[in-house]
Amino acid sequence: MRRRVMLGNTVLPDFPVMLAPMEDVSDPPFRRVCRRLGADMVFTEFISSEGLIRGARQSTHKLDIFEDERPVGIQIFGGEEAPMRQAAALAEAVRPTVIDINYGCPVYRVVNKGAGAAILQDIDKMERLTRAIVDQVSLPVTVKTRLGWDRASIRIEEVALRLQDAGITMLTVHFRTRKQLYKGAADWSWMLRLKENPALHIPIIGNGDIDSPEKALQARDDYGADGIMIGRAAIGNPWIFQQIKHYLATGERLPSPTLDERLAVCKEHLLASVEWKGERRAVFEMRKHYRNYFRGLPRFKPLRIRLVEAPHLDDVLETLDAIRREYAGYTFETQM
Ligand SMILES: Cc1cc2nc3c(=O)[nH]c(=O)nc-3n(C[C@H](O)[C@H](O)[C@H](O)COP(=O)(O)O)c2cc1C
């Protein structure tokens, strides 16, 4: 049975489609674009608990939330109880919809400190830490994790039950192990196992490799997910949320966005990023979005290279104008 996602006073639509937390991607400008284009909920990139309590600008800046992006979860990570409690309190003060805990990040600099996916190796600690954060804040607490540390040690069913006991409101599972990093396919059969467990009643959100309306449908109807979270497929393609929702509601695909829509959304994203994080960082971090923003344009490589090599905002804007001139009237045939 599909569970409705209720986060405090916020009730999400049936089978919510959410933007995943992604470092240097899921910032307020991009989250706002995704919300407007259909994401039912968005998450911040992960924020270091240690950085937050030190007051490091890099971390506190990530607590910014735009009013029109709610519902939004703030994701924190860390390996120690006291700083995680303090960080949760600091995050709560900016009134997100939920506090999300990261028990899935596989990168060395995080697991090396006993945080992120490292906690999958110590489920007692995971439960303790979660309980401490649930006790600390009055907002709902959610968790995002992976299947396990490696294939031999997957205990996701036990993890889900223990986190539920600790008081979390929703669990998102990326169906890969830490050892897999991003390699191989996400193993969605674990969603079936989780949903078959009658003792588990919190909503389970599935994550990993959803990049089309058809895969979203499979996640809902074949695997019984209560909702899905989309990461990489949203980079440069924030339309994926409305594409999926339209397809799930009607069985039909929306046409691809027009060139003018793509240019307008790309420019809005870029300008809001410059305003929020400054020109240098915004121009640099936007680079990972261009391939998908303009996917399908024939012979696009030279202009894409110009976009990713442009050193300043003015150069990017000029290149966007050049794209408008070069491809005026172009109709996208491929559906996204
Ligand atoms: C660039 C990038 C940054 C990420 N940063 C985070 C993060 O801050 N917190 C987190 O929980 N997961 C993070 N992830 C993992 C994604 O949220 C997601 O679990 C993973 O990409 C699988 O989903 P996908 O196949 O839809 O991309 C990141 C992934 C990418 C590609």
Is there a domain that residue 92 lies in?
yes
Cβ 203 under 6 angstroms from ligand 1: no
**Of the residues 250, 279, 307, the one at which a domain ends:** 250
**Which alpha helices (H) appear in 37-100, and where do they start and end?**
49-54, 57-60, 81-92
Same domain, yes or no, for 104 and 49?
A: yes
Residue 120 Cβ < 6 Å to ligand 1: no
What is the distance in A from the centroid of ligand 1 to the CA of 20? 6
State if residue 5 touches ligand 1 by the CB under 6 angstroms criterion: no
CATH of residue 69: 3.20.20.70
H-helix or E-strand spanning residue 162 = helix 156-166
Which atom of ligand 1 is nearest the CA belonging to 45? Answer: 8
How many angstroms separate the alpha carbon of residue 112 from the centre of ligand 1? 18
Domain housing 320: 259-326
Residues 281, 204 share a domain: no
Q: Does residue 334 form part of some domain?
A: no
Q: Say yes or no: 236 and 280 in one domain.
A: no
Phi-psi region of 116 (alpha: psi -120 to 50; beta: other; left: phi over 0): left
Mean pLDDT for 159-181 is 98
- The model's pLDDT over 262-286, given as tens digits with 9 standing for 90+, comes to 999 999 999 999 999 999 999 999 9
What does the block give as tokens for 289?
Answer: 């979005």
196-203: long-range contacts, CB 8 A cutoff, minimum separation 24: 197/157, 197/160, 197/161, 199/161, 200/157, 200/160, 200/161, 200/164, 201/3, 201/164, 202/3, 202/160, 202/163, 202/164, 202/168, 202/169, 202/170, 202/171, 203/3, 203/4, 203/5, 203/170, 203/171, 203/227
The rounded Å distance from CA 230 to ligand 1 centre is 8
pLDDT tens readout for residues 302-334? 999 999 999 999 999 999 999 999 999 999 975
**Contact yes or no for 254/246 (Cβ under 8 A):** yes
Q: Is the residue at 54 inside a domain?
A: yes
Q: Are 25 and 158 part of one and the same domain?
A: yes
Q: State the average pLDDT over residues 239-268.
A: 97
Report the CATH number that the domain containing residue 302 is assigned in CATH. 1.10.1200
Residues composing the chain: 336
Q: Are strands 72-77 and 98-103 parallel, antiparallel or unpaired?
A: parallel
pLDDT (tens digit, 9 = 90+) per residue, 74-91?
Answer: 999 999 999 999 999 999
What angle, rounded to 10 degrees, do the helices at 240-250 and 213-221 form? Answer: 60
Annotated active-site positions, please? 105
Whole-number average pLDDT of the chain: 97
8 A C-beta contact, residue 189 and residue 174: no
With CA atoms as reference, report the closest residue to 168 among 254, 103, 264: 103
Q: Do 64 and 145 sit in the same domain of this protein?
A: yes
Q: Ligand 1 centroid to 21 CA: how many Å?
A: 6
Determine the Cα–Cα distance for residues 244 and 84; give it in Å rounded to an integer. 35
Predicted pLDDT of residue 325: 98
SS3 108: helix
d(CA 143, CA 98): 10
| Cβ 45 under 6 angstroms from ligand 1 | yes
For residue 186, tell me if it sits in a domain.
yes
Q: In the predicted model, what is the mean pLDDT of residues 94-98?
A: 98
- Whether residues 188 and 282 fall in one domain: no
When pLDDT is averaged across residues 135-161 and rounded to a whole number, the result is: 98
Per residue in 182-194, pLDDT (tens digit) is 999 999 999 999 9
User: Domain end: 250, 285, 301, which one?
Assistant: 250
The number of folded domains in the chain is 2
Report the DSSP pairing between strands 141-148 and 98-103: parallel
> Both 68 and 127 in a single domain?
yes
Is residue 73 domain-resident? yes
Cβ of 144 less than 6 Å from ligand 1: yes
CB 219 within 8 Å of CB 244: no
Nearest CA to ligand 1 atom 28: 22
Q: Is residue 135 part of a domain?
A: yes
Residue that finishes a domain, picked among 217, 250, 283: 250
Q: Give a yes or no: residue 331 inside a domain.
A: no
DSSP 209-250: S--SHHHHHHHHHTT--SEEEE-GGGTT-TTHHHHHHHHHHH
Report the 3 state secondary structure along 288-330. Answer: HHHHHHCCCCCCCHHHHHHHHHCCCHHHHHHHHHHHHHHCCCC
pLDDT at 19 over 80: yes
What is the average per-residue pLDDT within 63-71?
Answer: 96
Assess whether 218 and 275 both reside in one domain: no
Is the predicted pLDDT of residue 336 greater than 70, yes or no?
no
- Which residue lies with its CA nearest to atom 23 of ligand 1? 208
What tokens does 150 get? 């490696």
pLDDT score recorded for residue 334: 57
Q: Is the pLDDT of residue 33 over 90?
A: yes
The answer to whether residue 332 sits within a structural domain is no
CA separation for the pair 93, 122 (Å, rounded): 29
pLDDT of residue 333: 77
Indicate whether 264 and 203 sit together in one domain. no
- On whether both 165 and 309 belong to a single domain, the answer is no
Q: Residue 190: which H helix or E strand, with range?
A: helix 189-196
Whether 123 and 271 map to the same domain: the answer is no
- Is the same domain home to 245 and 269? no
Q: Would you say the CB of residue 81 lies under 6 angstroms from ligand 1? A: no
